[in-house]
Amino acid sequence: MNKKIKITLGTAAISLAAIAPAAFVVSCGSENKDSKPTFESRNNTFEKALQTLKSSYSIEPYKVKIVNWHDGDTPKVKFLDKKIWGRPGVDIKTGIAKIRIASIDTPEIGTGGYGGKPYAPTTGDEYKYAKAGKDLADKIMPVGTTVSVFTSFSQTYDRIAGSIFFDSDNNGSFESSWAVTIMNKGLTLPFVSSPNDVIDENNILHYIGIPFADAFNYAYNNKIGMFSKNIEEISKIHGSTDFSSVKWHSADNDSAPRNVYDYYKAWEEINAE
């Protein structure tokens, strides 16, 4: 059943059409996983979750072309619809804007370069995994690639917040989540400060939150990408070592903070009544 909703990024909203969200469920409830997980141990595999996302969306986001990738969470794009040019964060003459991708926080290629601060490249694991994330983005969505972006044009520094979906099958669907994809490769930290957003049908996390959390747990527990190392140094640079909003609960940790699985299960139970 199709219905009109508003998707929010932060505190702002944009309109789109989407199907009933129950189709996006990969699993539900508070997860208790002590052994290394595989997607075969879930109610659905990660690949099937992506297929669900691709087949279920019926949306009209903004189409943009990739101009370049600064790192894995910050592309520069050009809006194809000239009516968008001049919107907050979008250059009125070129239609170019920088996107800060929601839900993820990748290592930085470099720091500074704004506010009078000199630009300097990072070093060590920060640079290593930042480059790996950028390389993955360049491979999947090279310069000139058309992608879809949800954005309400809310700004942070010189960037607008948004979520990018790409066409992984070259069939015009543009419905593979970049946040889920790079998270599955272990090349980003999760940035979900309000896990209860997953119950809000007006928030994009409602639609990708469970696959995104599954992707994190798969990478984290199987030590993929930067999770193959002690990532505390990188995490502290980015302001947090707390992944509780998306992390599976341990079997002996019933007092853990509620995560996206808990909130989504509660949403399902309410809507099943």
pLDDT tens track, the chain, 273 positions:
333 333 344 333 332 323 223 233 333 334 444 444 443 334 344 455 555 555 554 445 899 999 999 999 999 999 999 999 999 999 999 999 999 999 999 998 888 766 677 888 888 888 999 999 999 999 999 999 999 998 889 888 889 999 999 988 777 777 789 999 999 999 999 999 888 888 887 677 888 888 899 899 999 989 999 899 777 767 766 766 678 899 887 655 566 678 998 898 888 888 886
Are 50 and 66 in the same domain? no
Distance of alpha carbon 67 from alpha carbon 36, whole angstroms: 38
Print the domain residue range for 45. Answer: 2-58+186-272
Distance of alpha carbon 18 from alpha carbon 204, whole angstroms: 11
Are 149 and 131 in the same domain? yes
Q: Is residue 112 part of a domain?
A: yes
Q: Domain holding 102: CATH number?
A: 2.40.50.90
Are 117 and 41 in the same domain? no
Distance of alpha carbon 61 from alpha carbon 134, whole angstroms: 24
Q: Are 202 and 6 in contact (CB under 8 A)?
A: yes
Amino acid at 211: P
Q: Is residue 179 part of a domain?
A: no
Q: Is residue 174 part of a domain?
A: no
Q: Are 33 and 221 in contact (CB under 8 A)?
A: yes
Q: Is residue 181 part of a domain?
A: no
Are 141 and 69 in the same domain? yes
Q: Is residue 100 part of a domain?
A: yes
- Given 165, 195, 213, the domain boundary residue is 165
Q: Give 119's Cβ-side CA count (13 Å radius).
A: 7
Counting the structural domains of the chain, the total is: 2
Distance of alpha carbon 144 from alpha carbon 142, whole angstroms: 6
Residue 115: CB atoms within 10 Å = 7
- Given 165, 198, 233, the domain boundary residue is 165
Distance of alpha carbon 196 from alpha carbon 85, whole angstroms: 34
Are 85 and 150 in the same domain? yes
